Chains A and B, each alone.
Chain A
Amino acid sequence: MEDGRGELAEFRAEVDGFSGPFDLLCWLVESEELSAAEISVGQAVRIYGAYLANTSRVSVSVVFDFMLMAASLVLNKIRSLLPDRCAEPDEEPVEISASEMDVLGRLARYRPYRASARHLTGLKEKRDRLFFRAQPDDGSPSLFLGDLYALCRLWWSLAESRSTRVAPERGEDDYDLAGAPTAVPDEEQVERKMLEILDELARSGALSLSSLLLGGRTMTNLVVTILALLEMSRTGRVRVTQEEQFGDVSIVPA
């Protein structure tokens, strides 16, 4: 769903100064608009509604989070208002329910992080007022060793830029890491090498392994050449001999 989903994915709204339901509840408690022990759901929703009315932008997820919190508060209130079936008639009423304690506990746990965010904001403001000698840009991409996320991002951006240059019309489904050399199947490589060796034998009559490897001293070339010789020896097309231990290998037509 390119159009609708794409639009939804891009849709984002931020409410200034609000970073979650705990943040709002903390503020309400701290500004003494609500008692920490008796959070009034109606009051909280009313204040929040007024707050939202003052802003033209609101995120659906922000409303969802707050409503979830409000719902849990409503549940707490219902529990505290209804008589406890197990409670003794002369028992002292419980001032704060377990759920309320949970909410308050979570708020207490959250509060220092909120304070640390304020502290960090102050540090950043201070830092932003300092200027340093500009560091020379050597153009090389910086990578944090072990940071797979950064590595993947770099790789995909390189692959993407390459694919845009090579095949701009390429779709996402047939994306094949354009730019990387196309792998040649092992069998095909060995076949090619066998034909190459037979041609060479037809021309010169005899060959040595060292002369065959002169073309390219790579591991791939060595493996492919050995496999080709073994296959040709097995099928009786060449004869492979070694006169002395660790000496050169001679190849002649069978």
Chain B
Amino acid sequence: MSPSSRPEPLSAPARVIEAILFVSSAPVSAAELAEVLSLRPADVRAEVDRLNEHLLRHGHGLTVTGSPGGWRMATSEEVSAAVGAFRETSASQKTRLSKAAVETLAVIAYNQPVTRSEVEEIRGVRCERVIETLLSHGLIRIAGRRRGTGSPLLYRTTEQFLETFGVAAISELPTLEELDELAPRGETREDMNDDDYSE
């Protein structure tokens, strides 16, 4: 290998971050890394970006991904088939959701805290069973009762929801306006079915 083609070495903080994320089974926060490295959280974020870029540029089988509570080391998408064949998928990765369940989750995520009747009004269909399923999967939780007639239960999404869909926070999701603009107007039924999960 000629010196010019040799990969550029990682910075010392990025190497430490890589090692910490490698040994940690839980997400590591910017504050934790900042304390270990004596850096500001903003600098830690920059180092994480640098590390991720390095892993991507040099075709590593690992990547750094954001989770609620911090960053985690994960396998890259390119090697998912092989890793999936090697290791039995974890319980969370076995969670299969119907189209109705994902749609109900979307309504709850964008309107939380929200009552069941409000979800049903938006979807135009009864959601009792779907909400039960989502509760049992731990994707939503009861977040109190709305004051007023009947004191209906309020629902919120959970950290498990963020974990399942790979977002660090609800604010990472695009707004409804953005989604509406991006929504295709001439799709076929078959295209829609391709997105389905079976429950």
User: Count of chain A residues with Cβ under 8 Å from any Cβ of B?
Assistant: 50
The 8 Å CB contact of B123, one of A22, A123, A126, is: A22
- The DSSP consensus for interface residues of chain B is mixed
Question: Is B179's CB under 8 angstroms from A131's CB?
Answer: no
In the complex, chain A residues whose CB is within 8 Å of the CB of B122: 109-110, 113
CB atoms of B84 and A17 under 8 A apart: no
The distance in angstroms between the C-alpha atoms of A32 and B187, with both chains bound, is 9
The answer to the question of A157 belonging to the interface, with a C-beta cut-off of 8 Å to chain B, is no
**One of B12-20, B30-38, B50-58, B90-98 contacting the partner:** B90-98
Q: Which residues from chain B contact A23 at a C-beta distance below 8 Å?
A: 99, 103
Instruction: Tell me which residues across on chain B come within 8 A of A119, comparing CB atoms.
Output: 106, 173-174, 179
Q: Are A129 and B77 in contact (CB under 8 A)?
A: yes
Contact between B106 and A117, CB atoms less than 8 A apart: yes
Q: A20-42 CB contact bits vs B (8 Å, 1 = yes)? A: 11110001001110000000000
Chain A contacts with B in 7-27, Cβ cutoff 8 A? 12, 14, 16-23, 27
Surface stretch bound by B, among A144-152, A178-186, A202-210, A222-230 = A144-152
Of B87, B138, B198, the residue contacting A131 (CB under 8 A) is B87
A120 and B125: CB pair below 8 A?
no
> In the complex the two chains form, is B103's CB within 8 Å of A114's CB?
yes
Q: Chain B residues near A144 (CB, 8 Å)?
A: 141, 158
| B residues adjacent to A (C-beta < 8 A) | 24-26, 63, 65, 72-77, 80, 83-84, 87, 89-90, 93, 97-100, 102-103, 105-107, 109-110, 122-126, 129, 135, 138, 141-142, 158, 164-167, 173-174, 176-177, 179-180, 182-189, 192-193, 195-199
* Residues of A participating in the B interface, judged by any CB pair closer than 8 Å: 12, 14, 16-23, 27, 30-32, 61, 65, 69, 106, 109-124, 126-136, 144, 147-150
